[in-house]
Amino acid sequence: FLVHLELPSIAAQSEPADKNLVPPPISLQGKLLLVAEDNLINAEILTRLLIKYGARTLLAHNGAEAIKLFKEHPAVDAILMDVRMPVLDGKEATRQIRRLPFPQAQTVPIIAATANAYDEDIDACLAAGMNAHVAKPIEPAVLLKTLQNCF
């Protein structure tokens, strides 16, 4: 049998089909972001994306390193925290950061970056003291919009 379909021309589309795939106009110029990520490939992709938008980055390979780097650089503008990491997981690292004795520890935005994206996972991250949640694989537009909402 034969099927005839009338489809719109690609040239006729004036906007992208999914606006979420187009990164919003945002600049991270001058921002210092702490990335806590144990997977080297994920860390590389994430830091390159942040640098592309003007940020400077610090990289921790586990939750304990994230706490140490935050103590050394308490003026970081945000922390992107993987949840599942060796040595100390992201939720416990967040709880410990929130208990540190300087004001930035209570106010720095901490964003969960994890493949665990069920409602209960998001709730657990927020209960641990995180401000937001971004599901992996991370979509640049979603991450940038989340960062923009935190600043």
Give the Cα separation of 92 and 90 in Å (integer). Answer: 6
Check: CB of residue 127 under 8 Å from CB of residue 92.
Answer: no
Cis peptide preceding 137, ω within 30 of 0:
yes
Kindly state the tokens that stand for 35.
């990335």
Stretch 63-91: mean pLDDT: 96
Per-residue b/e over 138-151, b at no fewer than 16 CB within 10 Å?
A: bebbebbbbbeeee
pTM (2 decimals)? 0.81
Counting every residue, how long is the chain?
151
Per-residue b/e over 55-89, b at no fewer than 16 CB within 10 Å?
A: bebbbbbbbbbbbebbeeeeebbbbbbbbebeebb
Give the Cα separation of 106 and 138 in Å (integer). Answer: 25
Which of 72, 85, 70 shows the shortest CA–CA distance to 33? 70
Q: What is the pLDDT of residues 88-112, one digit of tens each?
A: 999 999 999 999 999 999 999 999 9
Check: CB of residue 151 under 8 Å from CB of residue 32.
Answer: no
**Helix (H) or strand (E) segment spanning residue 32:** strand 32-36
CA 24, 29, 31, 35 torsion-angle sign: positive
Question: 124 falls in which pLDDT band (50, 70, 90)?
Answer: very high
Q: What is the pLDDT of residues 37-63, one digit of tens each?
A: 999 999 999 999 999 999 999 999 999
